[in-house]
């Protein structure tokens, strides 16, 4: 069984991040996964999650990534396919 990469970089993050700060931490999270030899599928899922979240923050005009923005993103992921404004206009 492979060792799981620590998520300490993300768990130690401040409650409010700029999109750039989030991207830097996310890059570290992905790198931790590579060092920890996570599967290619897991690494791809991490990259996809980060890409989608950054797209969402930009599309909605959010300058920071806080708890409410994360909640809005998760709600979007859960119902985005039902939102006619977003059909085909960005990652789902």
Domain chopping of the chain, boundaries: 15-86
Q: What are phi and psi of 65, to 5 degrees?
A: -115, 105
- Virtual CA dihedral for 35, 9, 76, 52, nearest 10 degrees? -40
Helices (H), the chain: 8-11, 19-35, 40-60, 67-79
pLDDT tens column, 46-89: 999 999 999 999 999 998 888 899 999 999 988 866 666 554 44
33 pLDDT band, cuts 50/70/90, is very high
| Tokens coding 74 | 């998760």
Write down the pTM of the prediction: 0.68
From the CB of residue 28, how many other CB atoms can be counted at a distance below 10 Å? 15
Q: State the burial class of residue 69 (Cβ atoms within 10 Å of its Cβ: 0-12, 13-18, 19+).
A: buried
pLDDT exceeds cutoff 80 at 2? no
Looking at per-residue pLDDT, the higher value among 1 and 17 belongs to 17
pLDDT exceeds cutoff 60 at 90? no
pLDDT score recorded for residue 88: 47
pLDDT score recorded for residue 20: 84
């Amino acid at each position: 069984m492979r060792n799981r990469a620590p998520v300490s970089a993300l768990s130690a993050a401040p409650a409010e991040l700029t999109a750039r700060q989030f991207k830097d931490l996310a890059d570290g999270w992905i790198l931790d996964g590579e060092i920890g030899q996570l599967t290619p599928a897991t690494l791809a899922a991490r990259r996809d999650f980060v890409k989608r979240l950054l797209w969402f923050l930009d599309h909605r005009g959010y300058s920071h990534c806080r708890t409410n923005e994360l909640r809005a993103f998760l709600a979007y992921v859960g119902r985005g396919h039902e939102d006619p404004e977003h059909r085909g206009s960005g990652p789902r």
